[in-house]
Structure 1
Amino acid sequence: MFEYKIDEELSLKMIDHQDAEELFDLSDRSRDHIRTWLPWINFTKEVEDTRNYIKMCLRRFAENDGLTVCILYHGKIAGVVDFHEMDKKNNVTSIGYWMGDEYKGRGLLTRACRVLCHYAFEELGMNRIEIRAASKNIKSRGVPERLGFKQEGVIRQAALLYDEYTDHVVYGILKEEWRKKEAHI
Structure 2
Amino acid sequence: MFVHIVDKDIYLKLVDLNDTQRVFQLTKDSRMHLRKWVPWVDDTYSVRDTENFIKESLKNYEEHKSMNTVIVYKDEVVGVAGFNEFDWQNKHATIGYWLGKEYTGKGIMTRVVSELTDLAFTQLKLNRVEIRVADGNKKSRAIPERLGFQKEGCIREAEWLYEKFVDHIVYGMLKKDWLAKKEEGTA
Give the structure-2-normalised TM-score.
Answer: 0.96
Kindly tell me the number of residue pairs found equivalent between the two proteins. 185
* Runs of at least 5 residues in structure 2 that lack an aligned partner in the other structure: none
SS where residue 8 of structure 2 aligns?
coil
> What is the match of residue 72 of structure 2?
72
Q: How does 1:53-68 map to 2 (within 5 A)?
A: 53-68=53-68
Q: 1:49 to 1:101 in 2, by over 3 A?
A: same
Quote the offset at 1:9 in angstroms: 1.3
User: Are 1:111 and 2:111 matched, yes or no?
Assistant: yes
Q: Distance between the aligned counterparts of 1:176 and 1:2, measured in 2?
A: 26
Q: Distance between the aligned counterparts of 1:106 and 1:3, measured in 2?
A: 22
Superposed CA offset, 1:106-159 (max 9, x none): 111110111111111111111000000000000000111111100000001111
SS where residue 124 of structure 2 aligns?
coil
> What is the match of residue 38 of structure 1?
38
Q: How does 1:160-171 map to 2 (within 5 A)?
A: 160-171=160-171
Q: CA RMSD for the aligned pairs?
A: 0.9
> What is the match of residue 144 of structure 2?
144
Quote the offset at 1:2 in angstroms: 4.3
Quote the offset at 1:5 in angstroms: 2.2
Q: Distance between the aligned counterparts of 1:71 and 1:103, measured in 2?
A: 11
> What is the match of residue 125 of structure 1?
125
* Runs of at least 5 residues in structure 1 that lack an aligned partner in the other structure: none
Runs of 4+ more than 6 Å apart: none
> What is the match of residue 27 of structure 1?
27
Q: Distance between the aligned counterparts of 1:34 and 1:184, measured in 2?
A: 35
Q: Distance between the aligned counterparts of 1:176 and 1:8, measured in 2?
A: 28
Q: Distance between the aligned counterparts of 1:167 and 1:29, measured in 2?
A: 27
Q: Distance between the aligned counterparts of 1:89 and 1:5, measured in 2?
A: 28
